[in-house]
Structure 1
Amino acid sequence: MHKPIAIIGAGGHAAVIADLLRKTNRQCIAIVDRQDTSEVSDIHNAPVLSEEHFLARYSPNDVELALGIGSLPYQNLRQKVFERFVLKGFIFPALVHPQAIVADNICFGNGVQVMAGAIIQANSQCADNVIINTKASVDHHCHIHAHSHIAPGSVLCGNVSVGNGAFIGAGAVITQGVSLGNGSVVGAGSVVVSDVKSNTTVKGVPARS
């Protein structure tokens, strides 16, 4: 039997995660935000607790966590929060929307989130804390390293490697066999046809730095 889940964060991404939990019949018992409002959140009809209050009430034995903090280029708040709670012993289960299409032999790390309409094909891997966002398409043998975000509508063709903390903007296309370095950023709507170095931003058709 699954443990209940608390959502970390109370913004737009948290609302999407709350909907995913409802559709997968997972119980949300709290929203963890910066301040304790002592009110029930409209995100998931659950109380909003400060981190201090949450940790005083719940332990890793009681609850699992889902990150409701989104991921944007050039910032690593999501990664920092994930790592902080992992060090406290909490588990972030992989969450897959029932309207996603995921091949049988996919390897998911902790805290992976696969949103509605996403497709992940055979022999691909998603490491810890990866977001495969709405209607993103990941083809065969792709390797997406930790803390990366594949934004809505983006396409990864086969054998693509995405480095740690990379961000692929909405509607971008990464062609067959391309490697994106750690911390790289691909602008929305770009088409990437060659490898991208770490901590480099590319955009355009074809994408250039």
Structure 2
Amino acid sequence: MSKLPVVIIGSGGHASVLVDILKKQQREIKAIISHSIPTERKIFEGIEHFSHDSDILKFNVDEIELINAIGASPHSTLRKTITNNYLALGYNFASVIADSAIVSTDVDIEKGVQILTRAVIHPGAKIGSFSVINTAAIIEHDCVLGENNFIAPGAVLCGQVSTGQDVFVGAGAVIIPNITLGINAIVGAGAVLTNDLNADQMCYPARMNIK
């Protein structure tokens, strides 16, 4: 992976996790671009802060890489929009792979991918550009993930699962082997998916009734 300095886009919880990983790897963080930085997030101390999107133009496209640190939620397009806006300006996005992640040598990882703490990716898998494999998620053998997927903490994709672009898999969800998910499909937190999902389809588990 490239060792160019990075600029972080965003300052929320997802950003704090990425900055923590990068600091442990002694990666140079040039700046954070965010409208504001929460004062309680001590992990950002010592990093220069810029509050306007246009401030990215202070940095030469050949001298830095960006990290999209905006989190994701079902139906949200903010993360993808930010990526596309900065790509249009000529900037590139770095991949981030936590040292504690277990990633087979036989995995195809495209640009701008984020693989977080204790995630596992097994042989034959392909991770599409700008996708996030969150904390302790498991991507089993021969899975093929499209671009801009967000696999939340603890989710499990069993062998040979295939996803289209912009798929969201919630925390703790399980997808059994050989399932296909279309573009914009959503699997809610805690769901067990046993059938294919077409484009824009959603699967949620039964709701808890709290009295």
8 Å CA contact 1:14–1:69 kept in 2: the answer is yes
Q: Which amino acid aligns with 1:51?
A: D
- Write the mapping of 1:17-32 to structure 2, written as runs, cut at 5 A: 17-32=18-33
Gaps of 5+ in 1: none
* Residues 6-43 of structure 1, C-alpha deviations (whole Å, 9 max, x = no match): 100111111011011112221111001136x8x9x844
By how many angstroms is 1:47 displaced?
1.3
The residue aligned with 1:181 is 182
What percent of counterpart residues are identical? 33
8 Å CA contact 1:23–1:97 kept in 2: the answer is no
The residue aligned with 1:166 is 167
The residue aligned with 1:118 is 119
Instruction: Tell me, in whole angstroms, the C-alpha distance in 1 between the residues paired with 2:188 and 2:55.
Output: 39
TM-score (norm 2): 0.91
* Residues 66-120 of structure 1, C-alpha deviations (whole Å, 9 max, x = no match): 1110111001110111111112111112110000000002111111000001000
Q: Which amino acid aligns with 2:118?
A: G
Instruction: Tell me, in whole angstroms, the C-alpha distance in 1 between the residues paired with 2:192 and 2:155.
Output: 10
Q: Which amino acid aligns with 2:99?
A: P
Instruction: Tell me, in whole angstroms, the C-alpha distance in 2 between the residues paired with 1:92 and 1:111.
Output: 5
Q: Does 1:11 align with 2:12?
A: yes
Instruction: Tell me, in whole angstroms, the C-alpha distance in 1 between the residues paired with 2:185 and 2:197.
Output: 7
Instruction: Tell me, in whole angstroms, the C-alpha distance in 1 between the residues paired with 2:183 and 2:127.
Output: 15
- Write the mapping of 1:130-141 to structure 2, written as runs, cut at 5 A: 130-141=131-142
Q: Residue 22 of structure 1 aligns to a residue in which SS?
A: helix
Instruction: Tell me, in whole angstroms, the C-alpha distance in 1 between the residues paired with 2:92 and 2:159.
Output: 30
Instruction: Tell me, in whole angstroms, the C-alpha distance in 1 between the residues paired with 2:9 and 2:160.
Output: 33
The residue aligned with 1:194 is 195
8 Å CA contact 1:10–1:43 kept in 2: the answer is no
Q: Residue 46 of structure 1 aligns to a residue in which SS?
A: coil
Instruction: Tell me, in whole angstroms, the C-alpha distance in 1 between the residues paired with 2:4 and 2:146.
Output: 27
Instruction: Tell me, in whole angstroms, the C-alpha distance in 1 between the residues paired with 2:75 and 2:23.
Output: 31
Q: Residue 52 of structure 1 aligns to a residue in which SS?
A: helix
By how many angstroms is 1:53 displaced?
2.3
By how many angstroms is 1:52 displaced?
1.7
The residue aligned with 1:53 is 55
Gaps of 5+ in 2: 207-211
Instruction: Tell me, in whole angstroms, the C-alpha distance in 2 between the residues paired with 1:43 and 1:117.
Output: 20
